[in-house]
Amino acid sequence: MDTALTRLVGVRYPIVQTGMGWVAGPRLVSAAANAGALGILASATMSPERLRSAVREVASRTEAPFGVNLRADAGDAGERVRIIVEEGVRVASFALAPKPELISRLKDAGVVVIPSVGARRHAEKVAGWGADAVVVQGGEGGGHTGEVATTVLLPQVVDAVDIPVVAAGGFHDGRGLVAALAYGAAGIAMGTRFLLTSDSTVPAAVKARYLAAAASDVAVTTAVDGLPHRMLRSELVASLERSGRAAALVRAVRHAAAFRRLSGLGWARMVRDGRAMRRGKGLSWSQVLLAANTPMLLKASMVDGRTDTGVMASGQVAGVIDDLPSCAELVERIMAEAAAALDRMPGGRTVG
């Protein structure tokens, strides 16, 4: 299936496996890439050294193009961009709108720039700054998310920008792919669906929690880091919601110290990052501090398998997923379902 996305990045299918902290590592990304999708490494939870070795690991396992997701507001974004360029990574994906200078640096080096956004005005902004395409995530999507549903946001963004738009939030099958293309998207991006594959390194006990969840078990909370964050309901989330601001801040200080050790960032760099986050997102210092909770609470579940001490970011789509295919099986199935969905349309494939 040939779309503006497959042509732009050179993948076989218009499907993206998104960057998910602690989840989208070399194994998942190379499996997604070998399956014909665009795999994206999540780098916000990696040190720059680890990022370089992870990129090399993916490159050693696949000939296919892949991407790296990074935080545009990270103090070391420049260093990460250098690694992406030096290692010949095809796509740079951003969790927030990257600055125009960063976009041009990447584009000058031949890297395709695809920021993720959750609102029309952000899509317009990054398109104006030269982004090559944009991933737009509706409110049902996993992790940090907005309020507007994909079905409302996606056509708005498609109408507002003239670069390829990739639809995210709530996708898991071929019907969804066809629906997204009908809205004018150039493909779909999926997080939760790829987390729930046999290629994902998330511990089995954690995957079991996702498989058991109903759509109504996936809720948005601001209790983890002060920002709307979609995740599985759990005892921990309930207790974070009960515990109040002061306890959350104490926890955040502990997590900031742990994240500093893991990420290899010094305190001075973390304070600089904090300042940048404060300016970039208009946050208070306590909100900046709370941001340290997310990577550590996510690591506890996604790496250590602790469903009691970790949070499980998830899209609502977890409620309709009940198997763990390999990436290859998943992608082939989605393409077969898409073909069947097109055939079922009145007039079959001749429509349009």
Ligand X SMILES: Cc1cc2nc3c(=O)[nH]c(=O)nc-3n(C[C@H](O)[C@H](O)[C@H](O)COP(=O)(O)O)c2cc1C
Measuring CA to CA, which residue among 191, 179, 186 is closest to residue 150?
Answer: 179
Give 22 or 335: the residue with its C-beta nearer to ligand X.
22
Could you give the CA distance from residue 151 to residue 173 in angstroms, rounded to a whole number? 16
Measuring CA to CA, which residue among 195, 171, 141 is closest to residue 23?
Answer: 195
CB of 350 to ligand X, least distance (A): 31
Over the window 189 to 208, marking each residue x when it contacts ligand X by CB under 6 A and - when it does not, the resulting string is -xxxx-x-------------
Give 46 or 342: the residue with its C-beta nearer to ligand X.
46
CA 208 and chain centroid, separation: 21
Q: Which stretch, 31-39, 155-163, 312-320, 337-345, contacts ligand X (CB under 6 A)?
A: 312-320
Q: Which stretch, 2-10, 256-264, 308-316, 328-336, contacts ligand X (CB under 6 A)?
A: 308-316
CB of 253 to ligand X, least distance (A): 22
Size of the site for ligand X (CB under 6 A): 28
Phi, psi at 203, each rounded to 5°: -55, 145
What 3-state class would DSSP assign to 230? strand
List binders of ligand X among 52-71 (CB under 6 A).
Answer: 69
319 counts as binding ligand X under rule CB under 6 A: no
Amino acid at the residue 133? A
Among 16, 44, 102, 163, binds ligand X (CB under 6 A): 44
Torsion of Cα atoms, 135 then 337 then 181 then 103, to 10°: 20
Torsion of Cα atoms, 340 then 150 then 90 then 59, to 10°: -70
Among 5, 29, 33, 42, binds ligand X (CB under 6 A): 42
DSSP state string for 48-87? HHHHHHHHHHHHHH-SS-EEEEE-TT-TTHHHHHHHHHHT
Paired tokens of 53: 């070795």
Could you give the CA distance from residue 213 to residue 226 in angstroms, rounded to a whole number? 24
Distance (Å) of CA 294 to CA 46, 62, 88, 108, 330 = 14, 30, 30, 33, 28
Over the window 153 to 192, marking each residue x when it contacts ligand X by CB under 6 A and - when it does not, the resulting string is ---------------xxxx------------------xxx
Give 140 or 161: the residue with its C-beta nearer to ligand X.
140
Q: Which stretch, 72-80, 141-149, 179-187, 281-289, contacts ligand X (CB under 6 A)?
A: 141-149
Q: Which stretch, 1-9, 97-105, 239-247, 309-317, contacts ligand X (CB under 6 A)?
A: 309-317
Give 30 or 294: the residue with its C-beta nearer to ligand X.
294
Among 6, 30, 34, 116, binds ligand X (CB under 6 A): 116
N residues, the chain: 352
Paired tokens of 326: 């390999």
141 counts as binding ligand X under rule CB under 6 A: yes
Give 192 or 287: the residue with its C-beta nearer to ligand X.
192
Phi, psi at 218, each rounded to 5°: -110, 115
CB of 41 to ligand X, least distance (A): 10
CB of 224 to ligand X, least distance (A): 12
Residue with tokens 């110290």: 257
Among 112, 117, 181, 313, binds ligand X (CB under 6 A): 313
List binders of ligand X among 1-40 (CB under 6 A).
Answer: 18-21, 23
CB of 17 to ligand X, least distance (A): 9
What 3-state class would DSSP assign to 71? coil
∠ CA 227-304-205, nearest 5°, is: 95
Could you give the CA distance from residue 115 to residue 134 in angstroms, rounded to a whole number? 5
Paired tokens of 271: 């304070």
CB of 351 to ligand X, least distance (A): 27
List binders of ligand X among 240-299 (CB under 6 A).
Answer: none
List binders of ligand X among 95-114 (CB under 6 A).
Answer: 95
Site of interaction with ligand X (CB under 6 A) = 18-21, 23, 42, 44, 69, 95, 116, 137, 140-143, 168-171, 190-193, 195, 313-315, 317
